Each structure stands twice: as structure tokens, then as C-alpha cells.
Amino acid sequence: MFIGDIVGRPGRRAVKVLLPRLRREWQADLVIANGENMAGGNGITEKTAAEVFAAGVDVMTSGDHVWDQKEVLPLFDRESRLLRPLNYPPGAPGQGCVVVPVPGQPDTAVINVQGRVFMGELENPFAALEQAVQQMRPLARVIFVDVHAEATSEKIALARMVDGEVSAVIGTHTHVQTADERILPGGTAYLTDAGFTGPHESVLGRKIEPVLRRFRTNLPQRFEVASDRVLLQGAVIDVNGATGRATAIRRFSESLDAALDENDAS
């Protein structure tokens, strides 16, 4: 199970409330979430990371906002389940891939890579991902890749490059869930963007009016996290543990408000 970008307190609350039940119902062996917007909409803190791990997330990926909170730097030294994009230059804190044990199932490798189109200059994500996959394949039959990128073409091209070499490639960053989930010819599950977990009565999780003022005036604004219509979005992937090939992929969009209403009614 993969959870799209968690945005602020509303996103963290959705994970805490919804994930335990969904994990049981869907019998998810491993839960991965992108957490780069968890702390007030920007970055990751030790407290927010602990909160989401405690809710049932096994591995946390990130992206270009991973460095927005300074306290994340020492966290990388202590928390192997927290990833940053692997194609940052040598010397950057943390790691871009990890192998995690999955009870009753084969070990799973998780890889985090960031695109370059409209995203700034990092190391070449194609070369970095290709190298990481070759390193992970002897260690894990099941390999999951979070591609944090702006351009659809770059996400698709990266997935096509590793089709048959990894179990799934899921895109993050644009916060708009796409409807193109599929199994590629080589057996790799693919979705261009998982969407985001947080308030959807918003502009990508932020209050609407400040964003509109920024577009209208080009003046700096404070983009606060919105609060209404909170959804938990992402995808569930079935993988054949013997071959590492995906057999199914389903995107989801679960309402926090609906879950709370059900709890109140019961």
C-alpha cells in the first residue's frame, strides 16, 4: 500500500484514523508513504515522522521539500526507514533506498528518486535509478519506486526504463491523482501520480485565497494548510512474491469525514 504526499496536520490525522482499518481490510503487508509535506505543509520533523510511523507506515519517502525543516538532518542518522531522493549529490544526509523485512513475505526494497524537469538540478535520475535497481535486485525480489517529479513524461520514461526490473513505480509531487494505473508489459505496476493525503477543498492542500492572491499579484503570500474535505489517497499493489512482478494495481481515495461520521453513528 502506498500513500500519496501527506500534507500537514489534516493529512497526518487521516493516516492515524484511516490507516489501521484499511491496512487490516486490505491485508497490506507493507505500507509506504511520501511524507515530505507533513510538518505544517513543508518538510518533516522528528515528531511528525514518529506520529506517522506509529500509525502504521513502514517506510517514508520524500522529495524536494525534505530539507525544509532543519531538525530532519539528524533524524536521517537514526531512522533508516526515512528516505530522501537517491540522486542528491554525494555527501547529502540520508539514503535513497532501503531493504525492509516483511513478515511472511519476501524482503522488499524501496527506492526514492527525484526528477529534474522543472525541479532543479540534481544528479541524473535515470542513471541513479538504474544503478540503484541493479544494487537492490540481488537483495530483494520485490522493489518499489517512488518517483517524485513534476513532468509526466519523465515519470513514464523512468517507469518504462525499469519495466520488468521492479515491482511498481508510483509518481508523487503534483498532488493530483491520475487515472492511468496499469501493469506495464514487463510486469511493473505504474501510476503517474498517487494524489495527496490532506485537505482537498484547497489548492493542492493550501488555503485557496492566498494562492489566488499570489497568482493575481505575484506578491509573496503565506500558504497555510487548508482544513476541509480531507482524503487519504494512494494505491494498493498486489505482487507475486516469487517473481517480483505486479499482478494488480488499484488507486484509492478514502474520506476522513465519512469515516468519522461512521464512527459517530456507531
User: Is the predicted pLDDT of residue 261 greater than 90, yes or no?
Assistant: no
Active-site residue, from 65, 148, 175, 200: 65
> What's the average model confidence in pLDDT over 140-156?
97
Tell me: the pLDDT tens digits for 238-249? 999 999 999 999
Report the distance separating Cα 157 and Cα 82, nearest Å: 25
* Active site annotation includes 65: yes
Tell me: the pLDDT tens digits for 150-200? 999 999 999 999 999 999 999 999 999 999 999 999 999 999 999 999 999
Residue 6's CATH number: 3.60.21.10
Query: Residue 14 belongs to what H/E stretch?
Result: helix 8-26
Residue 212 structural domain: 2-265
User: Is the predicted pLDDT of residue 223 greater than 90, yes or no?
Assistant: yes
Report the distance separating Cα 38 and Cα 66, nearest Å: 10
How far CA 174 is from CA of 84, 100, 137, 178, 203, in Å, comes to: 17, 27, 29, 10, 11
Going by pLDDT thresholds of 50, 70 and 90, the confidence category of residue 48 is very high
Q: How many domains does the chain have?
A: 1
